[in-house]
C-alpha cells in the first residue's frame, strides 16, 4: 500500500503540513534542522505508534501543544489511517472508526526505515535483530501475531510463577514449549525465505565478502525446547525468570566466517543493514504482491558516493514507495534531483512542493 496523502500537525517543528505524495519516490530536501527527518518520522509513527528516533511522545509533540496528529489516505484502497498522540492519550482511527490497537494501523502500512543508527541492527542487542525478523513475520505470516502474543503471555505467567516461588510452575512449561516451538519454526522459515534475497543483494552491494545469516533459536538446538526448559528448571526457579526460549533468539551475522559485530567498520555495518532491509522488502513484495514503504534518512552518512548510488539502484528495484532526505546543495540532492520523483523543500517546518 502506498500513501497518497499525508497530513501532519504539531509534530516537532511542523505545525501543519498536507502533502500529496508520489506513488514511487519522494525526496525531502532542506537545511539542517529544517524538519526533514520529522516528515519521515511521521510515517513511522503512523505505522508503529513510535518513531525510529525516539520512544518518548513528549519529544515529538510540538512545544506548547498537548498532542500531535498524523493522518494518511492510502492510494489503492483509499483507506484512511489516523493517529493522535499526547503524553497520556492515544487515539487510533481507521476509516473514521476508533480502534484500540496500534496493529490496526500497522496492518495497513508496512514501513521500514534506514537511518543513521541502522548499524545497530548489526552491533546492537539481539532484540534489534528479533525485531527485524518479527517485522517481516508480522506482515507475511498470518498466524504470527497470535502465536507471538500467546507466547509472550505464557512466558509472563511462567516468570510470575517463578518469582512468586509458586511450585506449580510446571503447568506453564509444556504450553510454553509448544507455543515457543511454533514461534521458533516461523522465524526459521522466515530466515530461509529471505536468504535468497540476502545473497542476491549482497552480491551487488558487498560482492567481495562472504555474508552468512544463521538463526539461533535461544536454546541448545540439540534439545527440544521442553527438554531445555526441564534441564534449567531449578536454575530458572532460583533466578526467577525463564532462561531458555525464543525470547533469547538471535540472527547471527557472519562476515567471512567471523561474527560481523566483532570486525565490521561502521560503514560495513550500514551496508549489511541496508542489504537486510532491502532483502526484506523484496521478500515482502513476493508474498504480499504489493510494495512496502521505505524511509531513508540521511543515506550519505558514513557511505561513499559509490555505495550510496548502489543502494539507491537497489532501493528503486524493490518497487517500494520511497522517502529520502537530503541536505540542500548536497551531492545526494543533486543525484536525486535527476530522478523521477516528487520533491519537497522544507524550511523551518514549512513544506513547499
Ligand atoms: N518537540 C519539539 N517542538 C518544537 N520543535 C522541535 C521539537 N523537537 C524537535 N524540534 C525542532 O524541529 C526541527 C526539525 O528537526 P529535524 O530533525 O526534523 O531536522 P532535519 O531537517 O532532519 O535536520 P538534519 O539535517 O540536521 O538532520 C529542529 O529545529 C528541532 O530543534
Ligand atoms: Mg535529519
C-beta separation of 118 from 274 below 8 A: yes
Which one-letter DSSP state was computed for residue 248? G
Measured from the Cα of 39, ligand 1's closest atom is: 18
Number of CB atoms found within 10 A of residue 229's CB: 24
Q: Is 299 in the pocket of ligand 1 (CB under 6 A)?
A: no
Q: What's residue 166's pLDDT? A: 65
Strand partners, 214: 252
Q: What's residue 296's pLDDT? A: 97
Distance CA 293, CA 115 (A): 14
Measured CA angle at 287 (ends 284, 292), to 5 deg: 30
Chain-centroid distance, C-alpha 315: 16
Distance CA 37, CA 52 (A): 10
Positions in the chain whose pLDDT score sits under 70:
166-169
Q: What is the total residue count of the chain?
A: 353
Q: Sort strands 89-94 and 97-99 into parallel, antiparallel or unpaired.
A: antiparallel
Q: What's residue 267's pLDDT? A: 95
State the DSSP string of 113-163: EE-TTTTHHHHS-HHHHHHHHHHHHHHH-TTHHHHHHHHHHHHHHHHHHHH
Measured CA angle at 217 (ends 283, 281), to 5 deg: 15
Rg (CA), the chain: 22
277 in helix, strand or coil? Answer: helix
Distance CA 243, CA 155 (A): 11
Protein residue closest via CA to atom 23 of ligand 1:
33
Number of CB atoms found within 10 A of residue 292's CB: 27
Q: Sort strands 293-296 and 258-259 into parallel, antiparallel or unpaired.
A: unpaired
Q: Is 36 in the pocket of ligand 1 (CB under 6 A)?
A: yes
Which one-letter DSSP state was computed for residue 246? G
Protein residue closest via CA to atom 30 of ligand 1:
33
Which one-letter DSSP state was computed for residue 46? H
- The x, y and z cell numbers of residue 17, run together, are 503540513
Q: What's residue 167's pLDDT? A: 64
Distance CA 301, CA 87 (A): 32
Q: What's residue 3's pLDDT? A: 97
Measured from the Cα of 35, ligand 1's closest atom is: 18
Choice from 9, 15, 33 to test ligand 1 binding pocket (greatest atom count within 8 A of CB): 33
**Nearest Cα to Cα of residue 211 among 170, 178, 260:** 260
Ligand 1 center from residue 33 Cα (angstroms)? 5
C-beta separation of 22 from 2 below 8 A: no
Ligand 2 center from residue 350 Cα (angstroms)? 15
**Nearest Cα to Cα of residue 123 among 259, 294, 295:** 259
Domains and CATH numbers, the chain: 1-110+292-353 (3.40.50.300)
- The x, y and z cell numbers of residue 165, run together, are 516461588
| 54 phi-psi bin (left φ>0, alpha ψ -120 to 50, beta other) | beta
- The x, y and z cell numbers of residue 132, run together, are 527485524
C-beta separation of 67 from 10 below 8 A: yes
**Nearest Cα to Cα of residue 188 among 222, 210, 213:** 213
Q: Is 13 in the pocket of ligand 1 (CB under 6 A)?
A: yes
Protein residue closest via CA to atom 26 of ligand 1:
32
Protein residue closest via CA to atom 25 of ligand 1:
32
Amino acid at each position: 500500500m502506498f500513501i497518497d496523502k499525508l497530513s501532519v500537525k504539531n509534530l516537532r517543528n511542523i505545525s501543519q503540513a498536507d502533502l500529496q505524495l508520489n506513488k514511487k519516490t519522494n525526496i525531502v530536501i532542506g537545511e539542517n534542522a529544517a524538519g526533514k527527518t520529522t516528515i519521515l518520522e511521521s510515517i513511522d509513527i503512523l505505522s508503529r505508534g513510535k518513531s525510529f528516533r525516539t520512544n518518548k511522545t513528549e519529544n515529538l509533540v510540538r512545544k506548547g501543544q498537548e498532542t500531535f496528529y498524523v493522518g494518511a489516505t492510502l492510494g489503492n484502497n483509499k483507506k484512511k489511517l489516523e493517529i493522535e498522540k499526547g503524553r497520556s492519550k492515544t487515539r487510533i482511527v481507521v476509516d473514521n472508526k476508533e480502534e484500540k490497537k496500534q496493529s490496526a494501523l500497522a496492518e495497513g502500512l508496512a514501513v521500514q526505515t534506514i537511518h543513521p543508527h541502522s548499524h545497530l541492527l548489526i552491533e546492537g542487542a539481539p532484540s534489534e535483530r528479533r525485531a527485524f525478523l518479527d517485522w517481516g513475520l508480522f506482515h507475511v505470516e498470518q498466524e504470527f501475531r497470535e502465536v507471538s502474543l500467546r507466547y509472550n503471555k505464557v512466558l509472563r505467567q511462567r516468570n510470575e510463577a517463578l518469582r512468586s516461588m509458586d511450585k506449580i510452575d510446571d503447568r506453564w512449561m509444556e504450553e510454553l514449549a509448544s507455543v515457543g516451538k511454533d514461534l521458533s519454526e516461523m522465524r526459521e522459515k522466515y530466515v530461509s525465505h529471505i536468504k535468497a534475497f540476502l545473497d542476491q543483494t549482497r552480491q551487488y552491494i558487498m560482492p567481495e565478502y562472504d555474508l552468512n545469516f544463521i538463526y539461533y533459536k535461544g536454546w541448545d538446538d540439540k534439545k527440544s525446547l521442553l527438554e531445555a526448559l526441564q534441564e534449567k528448571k531449578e536454575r530458572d526457579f532460583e533466578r526467577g525468570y525463564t532462561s531458555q526460549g525464543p525470547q533469547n533468539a538471535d540472527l547471527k551475522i557472519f562476515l567471512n566466517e567471523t561474527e560481523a559485530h566483532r570486525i565490521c567498520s561502521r560503514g560495513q555495518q550500514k551496508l549489511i543493514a541496508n542489504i537486510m532491509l532491502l532483502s526484506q522488502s523484496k521478500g515482502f513484495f513476493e508474498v504480499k504482491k504489493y510494495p512496502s514503504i521505505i524511509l531513508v534518512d540521511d543515506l550519505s552518512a558514513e557511505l561513499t558516493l559509490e555505495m550510496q548510488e548502489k543502494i539507491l539502484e537497489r532501493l528503486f528495484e524493490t518497487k517500494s514507495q520511497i522517502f529520502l532526505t537530503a541536505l540542500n546543495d548536497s551531492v545526494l540532492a543533486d543525484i536525486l534531483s535527476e530522478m523521477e520523483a516528487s520533491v519537497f523543500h522544507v524550511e523551518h517546518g514549512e513544506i513547499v512542493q
